[in-house]
Homo-oligomer: A and B are copies of this chain.
Amino acid sequence: MVAIQNTQIVLANRPVTDIDPKTTFRMQKVSLSDELGPNEILVKVLYVSLDPAMRGWMRDVRSYIRPVRIDEVMRSSDVAQVLKSNSSEFKAGDLVRATCGWQEYAILKPSEDVVKIKAFPGVSPSTYLGVLGLTGLTAYFGLFEVGEIAKKGGPNCTVVVSGAAGATGMVAAQIAKHVFGCRVIGIAGSDDKCDYLVKELGLDVALNYKSKTFFKELCAATPKLIDIFFDNTGGDILDGCLRRIAFKGRIIVCGAISTYNDAVPKGPAYYSALITQRARMEGFIVFDYAKQYGKALEDMSTWIKEGKLKSRETVVHGIENAPDALVKLFKGDNTGKMLVKVAEEESKSRL
């Protein structure tokens, strides 16, 4: 038996508005025995995914998943490596995607939530939290299932994506542009990000929502109005897009990061455009499509190989920096997937 020093970050207080990295979370070091029960596996966390949805998990309200408890390790989706296994399904060295939370090690029981990664050669493990993880799948199912892009897409279809330089937005915008040939307008929070969206990702237009003339620019960029709006931000951007929504337009409500830190958020003032334009706003959670993940990941891998889908990451090092990094995510400091790198992958020969 070996005692492992395990650094964990737990939820100390539920934030009412903004997260305060010093008071919302607490770091603790605990000792973990590597002695495993029947069917258990010991894993080492390599990468932790940081997601806007985490803000919702800290709220004590009815939602799609139970809130994180006070003094519980903060929940996260992670890529981890199996160090020791009592399960016939996993062996030391395997990579898994699992909900380990903000800690260095975890003992898991195989379940639907522990998915063995069939790694492509040369692909970083972090990719399975981004384009080939829940983030990419969120973009995929939002566009296909809620936006019905396979039916509506094409050169006459105008698609707007908010948070377009973020992990999910980036994937949604590229699929709409390079797989379906839509006119795609990305919205982001800095001129650098906008440059990236147009020059690197090939979107038709990118708009900085911090511009004083943002709504005017949005109007100019959407002469045929907006058929599909993939919304990650909510707030004034959602209101602007409601004002430009087309007849029978679709608003894919994926996220509302601009409102997550509000005690009571401001709702979309112009939602009655749904009536006048016979439009639809619909929310979704990627988990509902778990049975279709395989097909989606095949599609996305193909698009990566064909150069239609590029990825980008913003990586912070060390689990102790996760709280600060989460605050940065809400400030929009990241371009692409926001990750914490916790440890290096071990070569299988060493295990």
Contact = CB atoms under 8 A, between A and B. Distances in A.
Contact of A272 (B234, B277, B279, B288): B234
Nearest to A253: B274
A231 to B, nearest CB: 10
B253 A271 contact: yes
- Of listed A268, A272, A274, residue having the most chain B CB within 10 A: A272
Interface string A244-285: 000000000111100100001111111111111111111111
Contact of A271 (B63, B271, B280, B284): B271
A276 B239 contact: no
A277 B267 contact: no
A64 interface: yes
What does DSSP make chain A's interface, helix, strand, loop or mixed?
loop
A56 interface: yes
Contacts of A64: 275-278
B270 A278 contact: no
Contacts of A271: 234, 253, 256, 267-268, 271, 281
Contacts of A281: 271, 274, 280-282
B288 A275 contact: no
B256 A272 contact: yes
Contacts of A269: 264-267
A221 B22 CA distance: 42
Number of copies: 2
A108 to B, nearest CB: 26
The range of chain A's interface size is: 20 to 34
Contacts of A256: 271-272, 275
Contacts of A255: 275
Interface string A73-102: 000000000000000000000000000000
- Of listed A254, A259, A269, residue having the most chain B CB within 10 A: A269
A83 to B, nearest CB: 35
A281 B280 CA distance: 6
Interface string A232-250: 0010000100000000000
- Of listed A56, A64, A259, A278, residue having the most chain B CB within 10 A: A278
Given A253-B274, A269-B265, A272-B234, A282 B280 contact: yes
Given A267-B267, A267-B270, A271-B253, A63 B278 contact: no
B254 A275 contact: yes
A321 to B, nearest CB: 28
A253 B272 contact: yes
Contact of A239 (B267, B270, B275): B267
Interface of A: 56, 62-64, 234, 239, 253-256, 259, 264-285, 288
19 contacts: A56-B276, A62-B276, A64-B277, A64-B278, A234-B271, A239-B267, A253-B274, A265-B269, A265-B270, A266-B269, A267-B267, A271-B271, A272-B283, A274-B282, A275-B285, A278-B288, A279-B282, A280-B280, A281-B281
Given A239-B267, A265-B270, A278-B283, 18 more contacts: A56-B276, A62-B276, A63-B276, A64-B277, A64-B278, A253-B272, A253-B274, A253-B275, A256-B271, A256-B272, A267-B269, A267-B271, A271-B271, A274-B283, A278-B284, A280-B281, A280-B283, A282-B282
